Structure 1
Amino acid sequence: MVKFDMGAAWDDTLQLLKSHTALVGTIAGVFLFLPALAFAWFGPVPIEPPAGADFNQVMATFRESFRQMIPGQVVIALCTLIGTAAILRLWLSRAGISVGEALTFGLMLFPTMIAVQILCGIAIGFGFILLIVPGIYLIGRLTLVTPAIADRRIYNPFEAIRTSWELTRDNGWAVFFFLFLVGIVIVIAALIIGGIVSVIFGSEPGIGRMLGGFVEAAFGAIGSLVSIAVSAAAYRQLALRTSSDVFQ
């Protein structure tokens, strides 16, 4: 059984981010960045609770803001699924592939990707209900579902989940901590840059909201791209079984 090496996975993550730069950048710009930017600029503005509001009023305001944002967030999530599948196909393909072929592939696998997200979300959600730790463990075990779909053209969502489960055997915690460490760095960087932009330009309608939305969308796209590369690097390492499986 292959043991997961975080250092090697990070080196491979950087290698992936440097490969197919123009093609990956095009897909990420269209499917990861632009939908988030459009929502940040033209979507609903979060509702602020009235001054002196009690707990019930605050919660009512929060629920209404959340309700208004659901449609836009669903569109962003669906676009991200297509972009993710296409980018993974570019990175994991052992032969040359064009943007058009990658996007066609992403669209073909779109129903499977949705089904997998729902199934994994339900499983991880139940895991968190069971004292959190099982949910954290499941994140590590199910991380390779999407890369497996993209690499092996798996249309059956249950088969994709089984494949990830097999590949991460004895490595679930290591994969989770790798994802966690990378995620922490991205979140801290986003908070720092977002805070600086907010302090300088404010968050009121106009230039403040436009710049804040741009930074938010940019960091969201970068964070998503890094997360995709991390999962692809973990997959490439744990899926390596024979010399015929070497990724070039």
Structure 2
Amino acid sequence: MTLRLAGLFADAKTLWRRERALVLPVAGLFFLLPSLGLLLLLAQGAPELESLSDQAALLAFYRKFVEANVVPLMLAYLAVDYGIFALFNLYLRGDGQMLGQVLLQALRRLFPFLVIEVAVSLGFQLGFSLFIAPGLFLFARTWLAAPAYAERPGAGLIEAFKQGWVRSGGVTWLLFLLVTAMVFVAGIGAMAVASIVTGLIATIAGGGAVPEFLSYLLLSVIGAGVWTALVILRVAAYRATEPRQGI
């Protein structure tokens, strides 16, 4: 079982080209639209947000925002997770199915997948709150559990976590590096680029509702692209860590 970054990105590129006609509508519906909706919702408090100067006040603002918008936030996160699971099903169990069949297949087994994603997220947050490295390590060791469940849902959740742990055993350092880059480089870098571009749009257009909306749309497109790329990389990593059978 080998895994190299160059091969991983090459496989991800091949996977994207193979199914992009189906990936694009899934990404648009379940990544882009929820992101855009949340940004527009957050924009309602933008004047209040701009007046905040210290970190404590900023955290209080976001806490208030979350409390006031629990249902929309939950629906948005549910949509994103459903999109992720749909793409997993497309690549690992699609077998030439139409988009509607893939979405229905994902819907039927969505709840156990959500359990996996919540467990992985909680483990990451717990480890990250104590020390950064343990959180990233635990996240790397369980990162492949979700695609394992998507490929073999009949095996159950415990087997999915077992498969994720076993598959990541020989390549933990590489997945650790990939997860670190995903969390710190890709996420922060994408937001930095988006902030610069949206600032340029606002400056050139001189303000107004339309440039503001275009800025939010651009942020959502970038976010959807990042989510899509991460899902495909996850599939590529899962396929690359397939245990080799003996002779």
TM range (shorter): 0.7 to 0.9
- Give me the whole-angstrom Cα distance separating, in 2, the residues matched to 1:166 and 1:92: 18
Please state if 1:195 is matched with 2:213.
Answer: no
- Give me the whole-angstrom Cα distance separating, in 2, the residues matched to 1:205 and 1:121: 38
- Which portions of structure 1, spanning 4 or more consecutive aligned residues, are displaced by more than 4 angstroms? 49-59, 202-205
Name the stretch that deviates more: 49-58 or 172-181. 49-58
- Give me the whole-angstrom Cα distance separating, in 2, the residues matched to 1:99 and 1:229: 17
Q: Which runs of 5+ in 1 are unaligned?
A: 244-248
Aligned residue for 1:10?
A: 9
Please state if 1:237 is matched with 2:240.
Answer: yes
Amino acid at match of 1:21: R
Q: For 1:213, which of 213, 216, 241 is the aligned residue?
A: 216
State the TM-score, normalizing by the size of structure 1: 0.85
| CA pair 57-235 structure 1, distance change in 2 beyond 3 A | closer
Q: Which runs of 5+ in 2 are unaligned?
A: none
- Give me the whole-angstrom Cα distance separating, in 2, the residues matched to 1:50 and 1:198: 15
| CA pair 59-180 structure 1, distance change in 2 beyond 3 A | closer
Work out whether residues 41 and 209 of structure 1, in 8 Å CA contact, stay in contact via their aligned partners in 2.
Answer: no
Work out whether residues 142 and 161 of structure 1, in 8 Å CA contact, stay in contact via their aligned partners in 2.
Answer: yes
- Give me the whole-angstrom Cα distance separating, in 2, the residues matched to 1:88 and 1:114: 13
Identity of aligned residues (%): 21
- Give me the whole-angstrom Cα distance separating, in 2, the residues matched to 1:52 and 1:102: 45
Work out whether residues 36 and 217 of structure 1, in 8 Å CA contact, stay in contact via their aligned partners in 2.
Answer: yes
| Number of positions where the alignment pairs a residue of Structure 1 with one of Structure 2 | 242
Work out whether residues 167 and 239 of structure 1, in 8 Å CA contact, stay in contact via their aligned partners in 2.
Answer: yes
| CA pair 211-50 structure 1, distance change in 2 beyond 3 A | closer
| CA pair 58-197 structure 1, distance change in 2 beyond 3 A | closer
Q: Secondary structure at the match of 2:177?
A: helix
Q: Secondary structure at the match of 1:125?
A: helix
Amino acid at match of 1:152: R
Aligned residue for 1:103?
A: 103
The offset of 1:140, in angstroms, is 0.9
Please state if 1:126 is matched with 2:133.
Answer: no
1:33-81 superposed Cα distances (whole Å, 9 cap, x missing partner): 1222233235552352585867764543342233334433321110111
Instruction: Pick the structure with more helix per residue.
Output: 2
Name the stretch that deviates more: 52-61 or 2-11. 52-61
- Root mean square deviation of aligned Cα: 2.7
